[in-house]
Amino acid sequence: MYFLKSLSNEVKSAQFLFNRLSKTKQLVSGALFASLAALFQSAGGFLPGIGIFLSPLSTAPILFCFILSLPLGFIIYILTNLLLLVIQPSELIIFPFTTGILGMGIGSAFYFFKTRLYIIISGATLLTFGIITLLCVFKFPVLGPVISNNFSLSTTGLIFVFTFLYSWIWVELSLAYLKKLKTFIFF
């Protein structure tokens, strides 16, 4: 079945290529990933209009750092939060609970799980938890005025369905990128 197919080959080859780099190159790559994530996330504040479409791309650098190395991914996640504190503090409440936690969830799931379904579910679960935390704990209207700030199982279910589809898109995009990276480097 499509969702239960093993994905370990693409991930292992990318991790192998990354581990062949020196520690300095790994840290510099991580710093570039963190700056890209911070720039993409802050694009919504700097470029009204088009920045809203660039802001979700901040998931990609975090996701790829977690795929390549869990410790480096965690450092990049923290570094991106610190960069956002300096560059665009208003985005600091959104990033750790939405795009950042999605990248962390999917990237670390690639590290631990081998099947597409578990990876998608772990990303969707963390993103749902982050959105519900923003809505119910911080009373931040991350989904706009349509969704109420009070906890409800139906709202949580709808959010989970949306985050499942959104996580699935990110998993497929990252797999396509890893396959392209593998063919680019070996040929």
Tens digits of per-residue pLDDT, 111-144? 888 889 999 999 999 999 999 999 988 888 887 7
pLDDT computed for residue 183 by the predictor: 58
pLDDT computed for residue 179 by the predictor: 80
Q: Which residue bears the tokens 């797999």? A: 175
pLDDT computed for residue 187 by the predictor: 39
pLDDT computed for residue 182 by the predictor: 61
Question: Which segments of the chain have a pLDDT < 50?
Answer: 186-187
Spans of all domains in the chain: 2-186
pLDDT computed for residue 185 by the predictor: 52
At 28, list the tokens. Answer: 């510099």
Identity (one letter) of the amino acid at 126?
L
The pTM (predicted TM-score) of the whole model is 0.89
pLDDT computed for residue 184 by the predictor: 56
pLDDT computed for residue 32 by the predictor: 95
pLDDT computed for residue 114 by the predictor: 84
